[in-house]
Structure 1
Amino acid sequence: MVAVERVESLANSGIISIPKEYIRPKEELESINDVFLEEKKEDGPQVPTIDLQDIESEDQIIREKCIEELKKAALDWGVMHLINHGIPVELMERVKKTGEEFFGLDVEEKEKYANDQATGKIQGYGSKLANNASGQLEWEDYFFHLVYPEDKRDLSLWPKTPTDYIEATSEYAKCLRLLATKVFKALSIGLGLEPDRLEKEVGGLEELLLQMKINYYPKCPQPELALGVEAHTDVSALTFILHNMVPGLQLFYGGKWITAKCVPDSIVMHIGDTLEILSNGKYKSILHRGLVNKEKVRISWAVFCEPPKEKIVLKPLPEMVSVESPAKFPPRTFAQHLAHKLFRKEQEELVSEKKEQEELVTEKKEQEVLVTEKKDQVCV
Structure 2
Amino acid sequence: MEVDRVQAIVSSSLAEDKIPAEFIRPEDERPATTTFHGPTPEIPVIDFGDPDREKVIRSMADASTEWGIFQVVNHGIPSHLIQRLQLVGREFFDLPQEEKEVYAKPPGAPSIEGYGSKLGRDVNGKKNWADYLFHRIWPPTRINYQFWPKNPPSYREVNEEYAQEMRKIVDKLLGWLSMGLGLEENVLKQGAGGEEIEYLMKINYYPPCPRPDLTLGVPSHTDLSALTVLVPNQVHGLQVFKDGLWIDAKYIPGALVVHIGDQIEILSNGKYKAVLHRTTVDRERTRMSWPVFLEPPAEYVVGPLPQLVDPQHPPQYKHKKFKDYSYCKLNKLPQ
The alignment's TM-score, normalised by the length of structure 1, stands at 0.83
Corresponding position of 2:186 = 196
- Which of 293, 300, 303 lines up with 1:304 in the alignment? 293
- Deviation larger for 74-83 or 150-159: 150-159
1:24–1:227: 8 Å Cα contact kept in structure 2? yes
| Matched residue, 1:280 | 269
Match of 2:244 in 1: 255
2:232 maps to 243
Matches within 5 A, 1:167-206: 167-205=157-195
SS in structure 2 at match of 1:143: strand
Question: Equivalent residue of 1:118, what SS?
Answer: coil
Question: Greater CA deviation, 108-117 or 300-309?
Answer: 108-117
* Cα shift readout 1:172-209 (whole Å, capped 9, x = no counterpart): 1111111100111101111111111111111112x100
Runs of 4+ in 1 over 4 A off after TM superposition: none
2:151 to 148, 152, 161: 161
Aligned with 1:77 (options 45, 67, 79)? 67
Q: Evaluate the alpha carbon distance shift between residue 34 and residue 96 of structure 1 in structure 2; reply closer, same or farther with a 3 A threshold.
A: farther
Offset at residue 156 of structure 1 (A): 3.3
Distance in 2 separating the partners of 1:334 and 1:216: 27
Distance of 2:88 and 2:119 partners within structure 1 = 26
Deviation, structure 1 residue 150:
2.0
The structure in which a higher percent of residues are helix is 1
Q: CA deviation at 1:151?
A: 2.8
Aligned residue-pair number: 332
What corresponds to 1:211 in structure 2? 200
Which of 284, 305, 311 pairs up with 1:317?
305
User: How big is the shift at 1:132?
Assistant: 4.3
Distance across 1 between alignment mates of 2:107 and 2:47: 39
In the TM superposition, what whole-angstrom CA distance separates every residue of 1:266-309 from its partner, at most 9, and x where no partner exists?
01010100000000111110110000111100000010000011
Letter in 2 for 1:112: V
Counterpart check, 1:21 vs 2:22: yes
CA distance in 1, matches of 2:38, 2:89: 31
Aligned counterpart for 2:283 among listed residues 294, 319, 341:
294
Q: Secondary structure at the match of 2:258?
A: strand
Contact 1:4 1:127 in 2 (8 A): no
Q: Report which stretch shifted further, 3-12 or 134-143.
A: 3-12
Cα distance in 2 for partners of 1:95, 1:224 equals 30
Which blocks of at least 5 consecutive residues in structure 1 are unaligned?
A: 348-380
Cα shift readout 1:215-237 (whole Å, capped 9, x = no counterpart): 00011111111000011000111
CA distance in 2, matches of 1:19, 1:134: 15
Distance 2:83 2:330 in 1: 35
CA deviation string 1:290-331 (max 9, x = no partner): 001111000000100000111x22111122123332211111
Taking the aligned partners of 1:4 and 1:320, their CA distance within structure 2 comes to 50
Task: Name which one, 1 or 2, has greater alpha-carbon Rg.
Answer: 1
